[in-house]
Structure 1
C-alpha cells in the first residue's frame, strides 16, 4: 500500500447530487472517500488521525466553506483545502487562496483538474508528514547529547558566523581544545558530517530558536 492510499479525500457539500457524483468518480479512481452534507457534520465525525485533503463547497448554509477553512486553521487541522463553488468570484477565490487553499474551482470543472488538485494536496501532506518525522528523529538525537554538548551545539546554530573553537570557547568559558572535543561528539551523535549540516538541519527544524 502506497502512502497516497493511506490518505483520504473528504468531501463537504450540501448538494446531494454533487456529493454523490464526486464520491463515485473519485472512488473509481482509487481514492478513499468520505462525504459529509455540512461543515458541522464533518467537524462532528472527522477522525483527527486521518490525513488527506478536503473538497469544500464554498457557499454552504449555516457554516460556509471559508468559515470552516478558518476554523480548521485555528484548530491545527492539517487538511489542504480545495474549494468548489457554483457562484464564486474573484474576491472569494483570493481570500480562500490567501488562507492557504490549494485551488478554487468553479462548477462545472473537469474531473482531471480536480484530480490534479488532489494529487498536489496529497504531495503537500506527505512532505509535511515526512518533515515532522525528520524533526522528531532530530529531536531524539539531540536528547543523546550531554548538557555541555547541547550548549556547544546551540551556540553554533544560533551564531553560524562565529563557530571557531576560540569564539565558542570564549562564550562558554571553556578551552578551544574542549570545544573541539564536544563539537566532534555532537556531530557523531547527531550523525552529521559538518557544522554546516548541523546548522542547516537545526534551523529547518526550528531547534534552538532565538525567540
Structure 2
C-alpha cells in the first residue's frame, strides 16, 4: 500500500488544509481538490488509494460524483464526509458502495480507520481485476475448437474422457487428446480442476466465452 493515496475533495479550503495536514502527519500521502471536476481532470484509474469526498459540493455533489465513478468503472473506494447529509443520502451512498458516511465534525481516528479499510478494499479489487484479466488473456489464446473442448470439460468435469468429448463434438478421441494438451499448455494449467478454477475468474458460458 506504499503507493496508495488519499484523494480529498472538499470545497472548503480550511477543511482541505486541516485534513491534509492531519493525515500527512499520520503517514498518508494526500492530494486535495476543491471540486469534483478538478478531481476527475487529474485522476487516473491506475492510481491506488481512496477518495475522501464531501457530500455538499457545488455543481457536482458527492453522490453525483460517486454515481459517475460507478458508471465509468472508477473503482476507487469512497468515504463520504459531510455536515449536511441525512439518512436518505447516507443510505444512497452506502448502497452505491461507499466505505462509510462520516458526519462533520468526526474523530480523526474514525476517518483513519475508514481510510485503512478503503486501502485494503482497493488492493483486493485491483488484485481480483488483475486475476480476471490474466484469466481472460489466457482463454483468448485458444482456437475456436479448443474453446469448444474447454467448455465441454468445464461443463462436464466428471466426464472428460476423450471418447465422450469426441462423441459430443463429433471429432476423434485422438484429436481431443491433441486439443486437450494444447488447452492445458496455453492456459498454463495441469488439470481439469485448475481449468474450472480459472474459468470461475471470468465466468465464461457457451455464449459468453472469451473470443
TM-score interval w.r.t. the shorter chain?
0.7 to 0.9
Is 1:16 aligned with 2:9?
Answer: no
Partner of 1:105: 102
Question: For each residue in 1:84-140, what CA deviation from the matched residue of structure 2 results, as whole angstroms up to 9, or x when unmatched?
Answer: 111322221111011111111112222222122112211222122222222333334
Aligned to 1:172: 169
Residues 44 and 140 (structure 1), Cα distance of their counterparts in 2 relative to 1, 3 Å cut: closer
CA positional deviation for 1:30: 2.1
Distance 1:136 1:59 in 2: 36
- Which of 38, 41, 47 is the equivalent residue of 1:44? 41
Contact residue 158 and residue 208 of structure 1 kept, 8 A: no
Q: Find out whether 1:81 has 2:78 as its counterpart.
A: yes
Indicate the RMSD between aligned Cα atoms, in angstroms: 2.3
**Aligned mate of 2:145, from 132, 148, 158:** 148
Between the aligned partners of 2:139 and 2:176, the Cα distance in structure 1 is 17
TM-score w.r.t. structure 1 length? 0.85
Cα distance in 1 for partners of 2:46, 2:130 equals 15
Partners of 1:92 and 1:197 in 2: CA distance: 44
Offset from partner CA, 1:37-62 (integer Å, 9 cap, x none):
11122223323442221001112222
Count of residues paired in the alignment: 208
So what's the TM-score if we normalise by structure 2? 0.85
Contact 2:54 2:62 in 1 (8 A): yes
2:116 maps to 119
Gaps of 5+ in 1: none
Structure 2: how far apart are the matches of 1:58 and 1:107? 11
- C-alpha deviation, 1:155, in angstroms: 2.5
Q: CA offsets, 1:133-182, max 9 Å, x none?
A: 22333334334444432321122234556544344222211234543443
